[in-house]
Amino acid sequence: MSRPEEISPPEIFYGDVEATKYTSNTRVKSIQAQMTRRALELLALPEDETAFVLDIGCGSGLSGELLDEAGHVWVGCDIAPSMLEVALEREVEGDLFLQDIGQGFGFRPGTFDGAISISVIQWLLNADSTSHSPAQRLTRFFTTLHSALRNPSRAIFQFYPSSDDQVQMIVNAAQRAGFGGGLVVDYPNSKKARKMYLCLMVGQQEIPKALNGDEMEVDEGASLGMKKRREEILNEKRRRKDSAGGKKGKKSKKDMDAKEWIMKKKELYRSRGKEGVPNDSKYTARKRKVYF
């Protein structure tokens, strides 16, 4: 089944029919509520205090209802007019506004105590028009969001990436905007229950714990610089060097003459199965005469 973001832009996909269907679907409402409760848990707002929260991609206000139940005041934005119309019909408590988050926000610095977003951020990775650049849209979004949040605070994004490259792109953009934090993956070994949350932080804070089975276990997540992944790559490179004898006895291009270097390269290409490598002959690496 195709992912919604691969079918059409959100403001088109969530037209009148789809917006009503989405809001009335019992299964969708149940999943949305579950993910919103988890996002609020990760948001870690002070207990017994009313917080001012931004709901990014609020849709028809399903997440907003849970913010109301938790005693918070919220503002919701969405790019789909039909979704916001359904929210108005449902008479949700939050203030609503139409917004393409890829164009960034215009809030005053430190406006919000936190932000949540459920199943939205992956839409920014699509270029729905020739003027859309996913990298630029992510940069504008995260930069203006960082400014709109007070210090300290958090922004929690539940999202469905289609590849590791998408995760890396989102994480890098958030890091460049000044956020700290990392990825929290609940139930990583379950295809059905697995959920990914990007936990972004303004100010120094610890990455929250991830859910694993019936217990709470620390999931260091993927730090925004993907340090763990870089370490794995470096360790693998070191291991390969050690298995090949390391640098000892290995000649650089400068230490070899032209023929030795060319023979070495041809041997490497052949070992990799590359086609079209010329056969060795007495003319290999032979300098051509220059005629004037």
User: Which long-range contacts link 122-131 to residues 24+ away (Cβ below 8 Å)?
Assistant: 122/5, 122/159, 122/160, 122/161, 122/162, 122/166, 123/5, 123/10, 123/57, 125/5, 125/166, 125/169, 125/170, 126/5, 126/6, 126/9, 128/9
The domains found in the chain, sorted by start residue, are 4-225 (3.40.50.150)
On the 0-12 / 13-18 / 19+ scale of CB atoms within 10 A, 173 is: buried
| Per-residue confidence (pLDDT) for residue 169, from 0 to 100 | 95
pLDDT of residue 218: 39
- Alpha helices by DSSP H, listed for the chain, are 10-13, 16-24, 26-43, 62-69, 81-89, 134-148, 164-176, 227-243, 258-271
Torsion of CA 156, 206, 42, 188, to 10 degrees: 90
So what's the pLDDT on residue 292? 45
CA distance 186 to 198: 11
Q: pTM for the complete prediction?
A: 0.73
Residues in the chain: 292
What are the mean pLDDT values of the chain's consecutive 10-residue runs (292 residues total)?
84 95 95 97 93 98 97 97 97 96 96 98 85 91 98 97 93 95 93 94 88 50 50 66 57 64 81 77 71 49
pLDDT at 288: 63
SS3 for 54?
Answer: strand
As a whole number of angstroms, the distance between CA 99 and CA 90 comes to 20
